[in-house]
Amino acid sequence: MGKSWNLNILRRVIPNKILVWIIALLFMANCTAIAGTIKPEYIKITQVPTKQRVDITIGGELYTSLLYADSLKKPSLFPIYTAKQNMVTRGWPLMPKHMDRTDYSHQFGLWFTYGNVNGADYWNNQPDADTTKKAYGYIRVQKVSGISNGDGKASFTMVCKWFNPGAQSVLEETSVFVFKVENNLRIIDRYITLKALTNVDFKDAKDGMYGFRAATELGQPVSSLENAMLAGAPVKTDSIPLTGHFTSSEGVQGEAVFAKRAKWMKLTGVVNNEPVTLLLMDNPQNTNYPAFWLARSNGLMSINPFGADIFTGGKEKLNFSLAKGKQVSFKFRFVQGGEDMSKDAIEKIFADFSGERL
């Protein structure tokens, strides 16, 4: 009776339309209190300096982390999850999963390095690398700053230095990471500026530059023994089906995308019964656009603007150089979605990233 009496009193002093709005607002506030204050698309970035890690959460759940422990030789975003908390990155060697491929331990997550900088290899360096047979460089994070959190968008800036085998810094890298949730897609944009701290030569090399290593399930079934060897350690397909398939912006399919130029690359497949579409995008403002693709059936997909000689059999050469004090910039986009996407839909995402208008 008390609640009915109070409502009647309110009806006498407040017009019905306003009263309806008040009740609706109170109902929404009550639902928010019950469900919690974190919105499904709220992106939050949290530094964990004692663990040399930056966590990125969406709706309170881990999306990915920037890992930069000294033992890793380079910073990388790992792991990367879907909204259903399925991992689209290979787990091994950091978080091994059943039947994971165990080839190329330097390939984990989403990273940026190169295979020949003043003669040193920054791409293939790993904790057990034999430094007596080859010169390896490494990358160290100096600072993480400019953290911005928000609904559907968040960002931070990472500054790091590239050190040669003699522990001398040769490049200063500034990377701005922007994380977005748009139309049920999870997007990572990375804006990179490399400043030469000495004269720097990026000799043509196969291994580079912006790379992603997909979950083992997203590897492609291979069509020949040669390609099987290139794909890395064998996988028993009766235990873990290989569901991946590459398609480039130029319409090239499957294993044939290797060493071809393309604006973007699509990898589709299934992880834990969840359909997955992954996109990696070059940008028209990048050097040597559209870049060559280091894409393998084992789930590696990488944009390489500097590998001209090896990818063309010597028909093209680049050997890009930066004089001391000069700089070069790159823009790359990673997109993670669900069901397979049409070329038209992908082109709209690419046009948005490239600044074009359709």
pLDDT the model gives residue 37: 74
Residue 86 Cα distances to 6, 122, 241, angstroms: 50, 29, 16
Give the pLDDT score at 222.
81
Q: What pLDDT sits at residue 31?
A: 42
Token digits of residue 183? 């139309």
Comparing 127-136, 179-188, 257-266, 344-353, the range with the smallest average pLDDT is 127-136
Tens digits of per-residue pLDDT, 317-326? 999 999 999 9
Identify the pLDDT of residue 234: 55
> Which DSSP string do the residues of 172-236 spell out, in sequence order?
EEEEEEEEEEETTEEEEEEEEEEEESS-EEE---SSEEEEEEB-GGGSPPPSSHHHHHHT-S---
Stretch 181-200: mean pLDDT, rounded?
97
Distance (Å, rounded) from C-alpha 246 to C-alpha 256? Answer: 9
pLDDT in tens, 59-79: 999 999 999 999 999 999 999
